Amino acid sequence: MSGPQQRLIQVASHIGPKKGSSVIEQKNPDDIVVTCALRSALTKGGKGGFKDTAAADILTGVFKGVIDRSGIDPNLVEDISVGTVLAPGGGATEFRAAALVAGFPESTAVKGLNRQCSSGLQAIVDIANAIKSGMIDVGIGAGVESMSSQYGPGAVTEFSDLLENHEESANCKVPMGVLSEQMAKDRKISRADQDAFAASSYQKAVKAQKAGLFKEEILPLDVKWTDPKTNEEKTITVSADDGIRDGMTPESLGKIRPAFAKDGSIHAGNASQISDGAAAVLLMKRSTAERLGQKIIGKFVSASVVGVKPLLMGIGPWKAIPVALEKAGITKDDVDIYEINEAFASQCVWCVNELGLPLEKINPKGGAIAFGHPLGCTGARQISTLFTELKRTDKKIGVTSMCVGTGMGMAAVWVRE
């Protein structure tokens, strides 16, 4: 390894104590703080608890939950940004409607945005930046996806001849599974390593769920659900991630047939699950939170977004995390927990190894392989997962990150209070 890649690794290992963890833990009136972070359960696409629920309806429930849990006056929320990937029209119409149904006034603006798998995080960072610039005082960043209703071939539009005739541009259209196979071969990530990582994700998630460690971050929602056996519609309460499977081991995963190539290593057991869900984060300045009597659970410190080769999109966190750490003025060793999205075990394993991160700091309650990756939701979901685990373990600093389709990566640094 040489050149830019080597320099990035050096940055991750030797970022000087320009600020240091003790400094980013200090409290200032202009800090952008989080006073509520919650999510719905994540359910199996086409099969789970939200299979018959529109994305906007899940989002409405989460919006109501933010109002109820935080006690915020809805009239004070000036803007809501919602990350989504598959919703037609970017979800602009239904998300505005969802906010109104949830109890926000007509004065609260709403937008949908799509930066693929980092859409939820981008939505939150957009709100943080709007507050920091003085554009608004209080806002919500959120993410939602119904992969049950909107996932499929139509998610990728047709390319023009102009785009197809440019090599890197054409690579943006390569399907994720095929792309991940190519990356695994290019970066020499073995099937055994992928299956071992995936099994660990399942095992951590099973342990966490049995111990009730997700309950604080999950908002139970009542929804209509049609029983596929009887075709009877009922009202059910969705309060737990239903994709978590017990008994997963490297050996059992090793028996699953590769999904994208006969000699491949990517399969349904070591890739993220297709899921439905929503999450939201309430943000404002510290001075505003104190004036309103809002309980501060943590603060936003820094974020980064970077580009990488489209065919190597999975390496995005490896490039984005050092940039976010440098902006925060801390080293990789100052971080207590890393929530790195498990789009595929292959890319997560490679990023963790290249950055030299201890496995015990990675997704301590499991990740998307175990409980799902509703595309636009994940970047927001990670924050509720992160803050509840930092609180439970009495730790302070966390990083959320993910690779992004077409060749990008995003990361953010957070501090619990």
Q: What is the pLDDT of residue 6?
A: 46
d(CA 301, CA 32): 8
On whether the CB atoms of residues 409 and 403 are closer than 8 A, the answer is yes
d(CA 341, CA 369): 9
Catalytic residue, chosen from 36, 267, 351, 373, is: 373
d(CA 107, CA 255): 55
Q: What is the pLDDT of residue 9?
A: 41
Give, in degrees to the nearest 5, the angle at Cα 383 between 379 and 384: 120
Q: What is the pLDDT of residue 12?
A: 42
Instruction: Give Cβ neighbours of residue 80 (< 8 Å, ≥ 6 apart).
Output: 63, 95, 99, 104, 108, 109, 110, 111, 127, 139, 140, 141, 142
On whether the CB atoms of residues 34 and 299 are closer than 8 A, the answer is yes
**373 included as an active-site residue:** yes
On whether the CB atoms of residues 406 and 310 are closer than 8 A, the answer is yes
DSSP structural state of residue 307: E
Instruction: Give Cβ neighbours of residue 212 (< 8 Å, ≥ 6 apart).
Output: none
Catalytic residue, chosen from 36, 348, 377, 403, is: 403
CA distance readout (Å), 377 to 172, 328, 352? 22, 25, 22
d(CA 80, CA 92): 11
Q: What is the pLDDT of residue 177?
A: 82
On whether the CB atoms of residues 337 and 391 are closer than 8 A, the answer is no
**172 included as an active-site residue:** no
Write out pLDDT tens, residues 283-340.
999 999 999 999 999 999 999 999 999 989 999 999 999 999 999 999 999 999 999 9
Average pLDDT by consecutive 10-residue portion of the chain (417 residues)?
Answer: 45 46 93 98 97 98 98 98 95 97 98 97 98 98 96 66 76 82 90 97 98 98 96 97 97 94 92 97 98 98 96 94 98 98 96 98 98 98 98 98 96 98
The two beta strands, 138-146 and 79-83, are: parallel
Amino acid, res. 197: F
Collapsed DSSP state (helix, strand, coil) of residue 314: helix
d(CA 318, CA 354): 7
**403 included as an active-site residue:** yes
d(CA 191, CA 388): 32
CA distance readout (Å), 288 to 77, 107, 135? 12, 19, 14
d(CA 8, CA 320): 9
Write out pLDDT tens, residues 236-279.
999 999 999 999 999 999 999 999 888 899 999 999 999 999 99
Q: What is the pLDDT of residue 20?
A: 76
On whether the CB atoms of residues 66 and 82 are closer than 8 A, the answer is no
Please spell the DSSP secondary structure of 232-298, one letter per residue. Answer: -EEEEEE-S-S---TT--HHHHTTSPPSS-TT----TTSBPPPEEEEEEEEEEEHHHHHHHTPPP-E
Question: Residue 386 has which token pair?
Answer: 């992160």
Q: What is the pLDDT of residue 155?
A: 62
Q: Which residue do the tokens 């690579």 mark? A: 171
On whether the CB atoms of residues 416 and 298 are closer than 8 A, the answer is yes
Q: What is the pLDDT of residue 175?
A: 81
| Helix (H) or strand (E) segment spanning residue 325 | helix 316-328
d(CA 25, CA 416): 8
- If phi > 0 it is left, if psi is from -120 to 50 it is alpha, else beta; for residue 404 that is beta
DSSP structural state of residue 218: B
CB atoms within 10 A of CB 236: 14
Does the CA dihedral 225-343-407-177 come out positive or negative? negative
d(CA 397, CA 417): 10
Does the CA dihedral 124-129-130-131 come out positive or negative? positive
Catalytic residue, chosen from 36, 117, 348, 377, is: 117
d(CA 24, CA 205): 30
